Amino acid sequence: MLTEIYYEVDEFNKQHLEKIAVYAATIDWYSKRQLGCMTMSEIMTILIYYHYSHYKNFKSYYEQYVSKDLKRDFPDLVGYDRFVRHIPLAFLPMFCFHLHRCRLSIRTGIYFIDSTKIEACHPKRVHQHKVFKGLADWGKTSTGWFYGIKIHLIINNLGEVIQTCFTTGSSSDTNIATLFYVLKDLSGWVFGDKGYLMNEAKMAFIEYNNEVDFFAKPPSNAKKKSAKEIPLQAQKMAKKRPVIETVIGIQKNVMDLEHTRHRKATNAFTHSLAAICAYSFYQRKPKVSIAAPLKLRQYCTPIAA
């Protein structure tokens, strides 16, 4: 797994790192001289591979595992304090690599959408929290109030992440800008929970050019005739919507997507992006085996090279 991650990251950086550095106007930051003796590919690989370790603390992972067991794979390792100072430099390349991995996901025409909370701190410590100040906000989910941010993501029926979006905790699931971002360039059926119920005007905007058919789970007290408006095949697929909750569970419990011990917001977002990139290499993704109806065959596209 380590070799596979490094190969994919290094091939991506060979093609795009110079362009990213020029765009960020920080081309010297990505040179070996500025990063000690480590390359950006090595830094990104260590950050991504962390989410496959049993460690829940990055310092313990780096000092007890990377510095000892991976010394042969990374002969130019620097000390922990110096490595941590390089993490903010990896944010932009990690974000671009995340987008690259999302583009490799197959556009099957069957998608599931949901959001999850990332708590910045315990609600009782909000008054002294400073790391996400100006970025985090109060939000409410089915489990209650929280202070932090939200990650909106959409996956295909193969469990692959198609697109993600970070917003404040107070952002609604039906926010037009968020939905338009995660659904752009997609065609097919999209299934969400009852939090994605929208009025006709907003639904018409989301289903632009009739390329997207958006279905939200109706509330339990809804009229029976509303279910008849959804095609029978779509009703069957809608029952598989919890697969995205399984994906979120894997990212949080296995990939350690969420924790509250960050010292910088940039490090926190780099950590979250690394967790999502790590999931893209995960071999046991939850899948929904559904025979594609004739309507959806035109939407299916092969994996990108």
Residue 303: per-residue pLDDT: 43
107-126 residue pLDDT tens: 988 999 999 888 888 888 88
Which CATH architecture best describes the domain 106-297?
Answer: 2-Layer Sandwich (3.30)
Residue 50: per-residue pLDDT: 92
Question: Looking at the chain, which residues constitute the CATH 3.30.420.10 domain(s)?
Answer: 106-297
223 or 44, which is more confident? Answer: 44
Rg (CA), the chain: 21
Partners of 188 in the beta sheet?
A: 212
Burial grade of 28 (CB within 10 A; 0-12, 13-18, 19 or more): exposed
- pTM for this one? 0.83
Provide the token pair at 287. Answer: 């899948």
Whether 277 has a pLDDT exceeding 90, the answer reads yes
Report which residue type is found at 43: I
The owner of tokens 């701190």 is: 121
Report which residue type is found at 9: V
Provide the token pair at 21. Answer: 């550095």
For residue 112, which of 153, 149, 164 has the smallest C-alpha distance?
153
Cα–Cα distance for residue pair 204/201, rounded to 1 Å: 5
**Percent over 90 (pLDDT), the chain:** 22
Cα–Cα distance for residue pair 214/206, rounded to 1 Å: 8
Average of per-residue pLDDT across 237-241:
85
Whether 281 has a pLDDT exceeding 60, the answer reads yes
Whether 41 has a pLDDT exceeding 60, the answer reads yes
Please compute, for residue 4, the number of CA atoms within 13 A of its CA located in the half-sphere on the CB side. 8
**Percent over 70 (pLDDT), the chain:** 85
Whether 26 has a pLDDT exceeding 60, the answer reads no
For residue 49, which of 97, 89, 108, 2 has the smallest C-alpha distance?
2
Cα–Cα distance for residue pair 57/50, rounded to 1 Å: 9
SS (H, E, C) 105-163: CCCCCEEEEEEEEEECCCHHHHHHCCCCCCCCEEEEECCEEEEEEEEEEEEECCCCEEE
